[in-house]
Structure formats: C-alpha cells, structure tokens
C-alpha cells in the first residue's frame, strides 16, 4: 500500500467483537456462570454438559440469539422453568455487564484518531442495540458517528450491503475508507470487495485459530496489526 493512498483515508470503520473488545472471552465466562447457576437451580445436567448444550444452541441459532436459555429448558426439561431461567439470565448478565471493556490501547487510539479528524464508524453483525450497548459499556459510544448493524442491511458480513451502507452514510469514496476487523473471511473480504483499504486485527480471536488456509486468509488485508495502536503509525 503506497503512502499516497493512506493519506487519502478520511474515515476508519471498525468491527466490534474481537476487534475492539474480547467478545468471546466475555461470552464464554458468561455462559459458564449461567450454566453453573442453572444447575444449582435444578437443571438436571452437569455444568459441563450444560455449557456444551448452550454452545450447540448458539451454533444453531446464532451467537446473538436472545432466547438460548429458553430453548435449552424446552429441550432438557420440556418447558421453560421460570426459576431456572431466571437464575441463568441473572448470572449471564452479571458477567456480561461487568466484563465489557476494550482491548488495551483501544480508547487512546480512537481518541487520537478523532483528534486527527478521522470519522469513526462501525459495521457489526450484532443488532443495533447490542452494538451500541457494548460501546456505551466501554464509554466509547460518543466517539462513533454511526453503527451499521444487522437490521440496517438484513445480511451479515462479508455481504457487500453493510459495507455499501457505510459508504453511503459517510458519502466518501471506498478508497477513502479504512476497515479494521479481526475476521479475514468476513471483515476483510467484504471490505475489499467494495474497494476499502483493509486492516486485519491479528490480536482478535481469529488470530488464535489454526488451520491450513489461515495464512492465505491473512494476506487478503493491506495491513496486519498486532495492537490497535499500530493504526496511529499507518495513518498520518
């Protein structure tokens, strides 16, 4: 990527989960707490089996599915037991709400980018309320001018529609926008398809995965960073 093209950047768009915050770490801890609470409240499964069942249901319905504990109870108990459900939901929320914090250097980097007059936005597969709630929980919401969420396009990344919605919102050329995300197959591939400059956040959860095609996926990005702070070295 030549220096002239980097100087043309006017806006930086971020993915949320595992780019600005360690979503999977939070999610796994919340699931573990919920499983333990539900077993204590009478769910006839072991804690480990409950965790496995919850993860199976998230895989089936999607990681943002809001009624996963209801589905678990219907499957295991045959009905939604309000006592067990309440125990699980309260335990889950206690961990989730207490854990929402950004990766190191996220806040300082975003503040510096706004000082340099870059417009800051987000494209997330999460529903709008959840995305804004996580940003508010990290006290980052006032740094973002917009969030393109699932309901804005009705499709998930890497479909082009969310990225085109961001382009329309910014009223900029695609090459004037930088997309930063942790998942090469969703964030990077989709952004490249519409002509954005791409940055792969190697520090996110995808970077810890292994697989024969992983190295090829990484190379799709124009830049690879191990810390979000490195954006300040890339952008003038």
pLDDT tens-digit series, residues 134-180: 899 899 999 999 999 999 988 999 999 999 999 999 999 999 999 99
Q: Are the C-beta atoms of 201 and 230 separated by less than 8 Å?
A: no
**206-230 pLDDT tens trace:** 654 444 444 454 558 999 999 999 9
CATH architecture, domain defined by 25-99: Orthogonal Bundle (1.10)
End-to-end CA distance of the chain: 14
Average pLDDT of the chain?
Answer: 90
Q: Rounded to an integer, what distance in angstroms lies between the CA atom of residue 158 and that of residue 181?
A: 11
Fold matches, 3-21+103-234 and 25-99: no
Which alpha helices (H) appear in the chain, and where do they start and end?
3-7, 23-40, 47-61, 68-76, 82-99, 106-115, 128-137, 150-153, 160-170, 189-194, 214-218, 231-234
How is domain 3-21+103-234 classified at the architecture level of CATH?
3-Layer(aba) Sandwich (3.40)
Contacts of 199 (CB under 8 A, 6+ apart): 178, 179, 180, 181, 221, 222, 223, 224, 225, 231, 234
Tell me how far apart the alpha carbons of residues 19 and 63 are, in angstroms, rounded to a whole number.
16
Look at the block and give the residue holding tokens 């990344």: 157
Give 82 or 26, the one with higher predicted confidence. 82
pTM for this model (two decimals):
0.79
**Domain spans of the chain?**
3-21+103-234, 25-99
């Amino acid at each position: 990527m030549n220096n002239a093209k980097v100087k043309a950047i006017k806006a930086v768009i971020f993915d949320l989960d595992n780019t600005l915050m360690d979503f999977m770490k939070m999610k796994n801890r919340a699931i573990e707490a919920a499983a333990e609470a539900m077993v204590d409240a009478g769910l006839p499964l072991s804690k480990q089996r409950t965790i496995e069942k919850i993860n199976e249901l998230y895989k089936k319905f999607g990681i943002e599915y809001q009624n996963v504990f209801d589905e678990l109870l219907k499957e295991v108990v045959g009905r939604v037991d309000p006592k067990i459900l309440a125990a699980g939901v309260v335990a889950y929320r206690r961990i989730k709400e207490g854990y929402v914090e950004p990766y190191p250097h996220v806040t300082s980097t975003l503040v510096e980018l706004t000082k340099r007059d870059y417009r800051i936005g987000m494209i997330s597969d999460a529903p709008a309320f959840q995305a804004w709630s996580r940003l508010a929980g990290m006290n980052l919401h006032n740094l973002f001018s917009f969030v393109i969420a699932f309901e804005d396009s009705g499709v998930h990344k890497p479909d082009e529609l969310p990225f085109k919605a961001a382009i329309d919102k910014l009223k900029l050329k695609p090459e004037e926008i930088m997309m930063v995300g942790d998942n090469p197959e969703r964030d990077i591939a989709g952004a490249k398809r519409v002509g954005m400059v791409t940055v792969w956040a190697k520090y996110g959860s995808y970077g810890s995965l292994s697989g024969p095609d992983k190295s090829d996926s990484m190379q799709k990005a124009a830049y690879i960073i191990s810390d979000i702070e490195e954006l300040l070295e890339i952008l003038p």
